[in-house]
Structure 1
Amino acid sequence: MNSNPSRPARRRRTLLGVVIALAMLLAAVVGIVAYRSAAATTLPPADTGAAAVDETRDGAVTKVDGILPDAASPFDDDSPGIARLTPALLEALRRAATDAAEHGVDVRVNSGWRSAEYQEQLLHEAVTQYGSEAEAARWVATPATSAHVAGEAVDIGPYAAADWMIAHGAGYGLCRTYDNEAWHFELRPDAVRDGCPPLYRDPTEDPRMQR
């Protein structure tokens, strides 16, 4: 008996193979088209304009408003928050930071000069956090009265640096201003001779805040 399949059977198997191959090819094509379609709808365009929005601020405060990187150096002239401090304050701060470093203390600036827009944002956030304008005023001044906006104040960190400045800052004319802010220092040139003046309990006792 002949074991070879009949010619009709071979044709059927050949036809079935062609059909299966075409089906697999069609499925592959459909998959590629679907993948490309999904990618086109989920991936952002190559140029979304995000950088331009950041540079023009679009209402948001940025580095140009005085926002500082974490642990900013008092010698960071590239940051407006440092560079736009008043020259006398900046010079005293840098002398103090240099001497502190010789004693193993790393003085950093958490906040320095701020734009009015930045200060306004901080004030709004304080009102939300503390629940009222009166309570927020104990921590954040208005743009019109803020020593930060005038470039006349720095917030020092970390705690070890603030403690060093509390102990030694008067020798550079750098003094704490408010009892509730151990990090906030302003220039008081007479302190070199007379020591720092008494602290206000908080900014609401500071006559400058009443303008």
Structure 2
Amino acid sequence: MNTRTTSRSPRMRRRRLAVTAAALALAVIVAFAVQQSLSVAFADAARPGTLPVPTDRPAEGGTAGTGTGSVITPSEADGVIRDGDQPTVFDVDRVAVGNLDPALLAALQRAASDAEGDGVTFRVNSGWRTPALQERMLQDAIVQYGSEAEARRWVATAETSEHVTGDAVDLGPLPALDWLTQRGWRYGLCQIYANETWHYELRPDAVDEGCPEMLADPTVDPRTKR
């Protein structure tokens, strides 16, 4: 027996595991930084005059929730959640939370109750949105990223967004995302896109089968092409 090789093997395995864990942690931190950048940009959209009004349709006559026109000054009634004022999944008086699909909301509340026992609190960075707000967010993302193609990797259209139907929620902070990464499947809560660690949807089959393989980003989701 080669005792030298045998003695090194566990040490090498531990080293590989440490490197893998560090890489995963870095990926989560980078993705969360992107989320925070988007959250700041969308929170700015709620303050008049900070970002340009979309020019693809006239501002006159546009009202929140109609799916036409543009939201000049989005409000909580449109699903806006301002930075620093993120509700929990139990704050159903906030329309961004209360208008989520009932099955999704129930799963979130079950998971959040269990997470509280581990000292972890779920915060909703974005939930239900009106079609007009979704369109405004897409136009702002185009300004931020410089092209519609890049913006669509992060923000869907009003016609295809799962946020508009109340079937998706963006969560934080990092401890909550870490908790869900390890346990979310038990509640049918799954991360859908590899580039959006905060975006969760309900997949009831995950309780028995585990979450489905993640898509790279929304642009390869068949639902965004309907």
For 1:25-44, list aligned pairs within 5 A.
Answer: none
* Larger displacement relative to structure 2 (65-74 or 173-182): 65-74
Q: Which runs of 5+ in 1 are unaligned?
A: 1-55
Displacement of 1:60: 2.0
Whether the 8 Å CA contact 1:85–1:112 is kept in 2: the answer is yes
Find the counterpart in structure 1 of residue 73 from structure 2: 60
| Inter-partner Cα distance in structure 2 for 1:60 and 1:120 | 13
Letter in 1 for 2:173: P
Find the counterpart in structure 2 of residue 43 from structure 1: none
Q: 1:153 aligns with which of 165, 168, 175?
A: 168
Secondary structure of 1:156 counterpart: strand
| Inter-partner Cα distance in structure 2 for 1:71 and 1:111 | 8
Normalising by structure 2, we get a TM-score of: 0.67
Displacement of 1:101: 0.5
Whose RCO is larger (CA < 8 A, sep 6+)? 2
Find the counterpart in structure 2 of residue 32 from structure 1: none
For 1:52-201, list aligned pairs within 5 A.
Answer: 59-69=72-82, 70-201=85-216
1:55-91 Cα shifts (integer Å, max 9, x gaps) = x978421001011252211111211000000000000
Whether the 8 Å CA contact 1:81–1:112 is kept in 2: the answer is yes
| Inter-partner Cα distance in structure 2 for 1:65 and 1:167 | 32
Whether the 8 Å CA contact 2:156–2:218 is kept in 1: the answer is yes
RMSD: 1.3
Normalising by structure 1, we get a TM-score of: 0.72
The count of corresponding residues between Structure 1 and Structure 2 is: 156
Percent identity reads 54
Displacement of 1:167: 1.1
Secondary structure of 1:168 counterpart: helix
1:142-161 Cα shifts (integer Å, max 9, x gaps) = 00000000100010100110
Secondary structure of 1:209 counterpart: helix
Q: Which runs of 5+ in 2 are unaligned?
A: 1-62, 65-70
Secondary structure of 2:171 counterpart: strand
Displacement of 1:163: 1.2
Displacement of 1:122: 0.6
1:105-163 Cα shifts (integer Å, max 9, x gaps) = 11111000000111011101110011111111100000000000010001010011011
| Inter-partner Cα distance in structure 1 for 2:104 and 2:158 | 19
Secondary structure of 2:216 counterpart: coil
Q: Which has the larger radius of gyration?
A: 1
Letter in 2 for 1:121: R
Secondary structure of 1:204 counterpart: helix
Letter in 2 for 1:156: L
| Inter-partner Cα distance in structure 1 for 2:149 and 2:223 | 16
Whether the 8 Å CA contact 2:88–2:121 is kept in 1: the answer is no
